[in-house]
Copies of this chain bind each other. A is one copy, B any other.
Amino acid sequence: MGLRELTRRAVRTQIAEAAMELFVANGYEETTVDEIAAAVGISSRSVFRYFPTKEDMVVGLLDGVGDGLAAALATRPRDESAWVALRHAMTPHLDDLIRDSDRKIATAVMLADTPALRGALLAKRARWEEALVPDIARRLKVPPARRDLAARAVVGAALVCLNNAVDEWARSGGTKPLAKLLDTAVTAVRG
């Protein structure tokens, strides 16, 4: 890995950190890209060479989550039911959230009450869905004609549970146990 790739990553994280700092301090919509660029000491044009959109400075961290969930799902036994497999596949992700919870909670809270960001978040979630649907389709015992719709519904419902659990967890400042919140959501949906 050359020096080039190294500085590139360094600049990228520096932009993200400066952006989050300004967002938390002054609000997302009130913070302009020019201000972020000035804080880092580069031109605003260069900022857009590292992040395709302003939204991505916040939700960029969630890019790998879909693949992570899909990978975890692939390790589950083939005959495990869709819901059980999904629930287990989420555990590593929950652990990751709890790891450096301060940063994650800050972003989660910001995502929760900044309407302009909700769209970006749900766009990411849609891509997670795509990554999970093929595996789940195989686990469902429904005729092929209905299989795709059924899989999409199950995956979507599971991600709704995840989202709501994380939201409540972030709202509580990370005090409530995340895994139990998720179980509450899942059992409510399946009851």
Task: List A residues at the B interface (Cβ < 8 Å).
Answer: 115, 118-120, 122-123, 126, 140, 142, 146, 148-154, 156-157, 160-161, 163-165, 168, 181, 184-186, 188-191
Q: Which residues of B sit under 8 angstroms from A140, Cβ to Cβ?
A: 188, 191
Closest 9 CB pairs of A and B: A119-B119, A150-B188, A156-B160, A153-B185, A157-B157, A157-B189, A122-B122, A146-B184, A152-B164
The reply to whether B189 and A153 form a contact with Cβ atoms under 8 Å apart is yes
Q: How many copies does the complex hold?
A: 2
CB distance from A129 to the nearest CB of B (A): 10
Q: Given B148, B154, B157, B185, which contacts A149 in the complex, CB threshold below 8 Å?
A: B185
Q: How far is the CB of A145 from chain B (nearest CB, A)?
A: 9
A9 to chain B, nearest CB (A): 27
Give the complex CA separation of A161 and B152 in angstroms.
9
Contact partners of A188 in chain B: CB under 8 A = 140, 142, 146, 149-151, 153-154
What B residues does A115 contact at CB under 8 A? 123
> How many Å from the CB of A65 to the closest CB on chain B?
18
Task: Determine the chain B residues whose CB is within 8 A of the CB of A146 once the complex forms.
Answer: 184, 188
Q: List 14 A-B contacts (CB under 8 A).
A: A118-B122, A119-B119, A142-B184, A146-B188, A149-B185, A150-B185, A152-B185, A153-B165, A153-B186, A153-B188, A153-B189, A154-B188, A154-B189, A160-B160
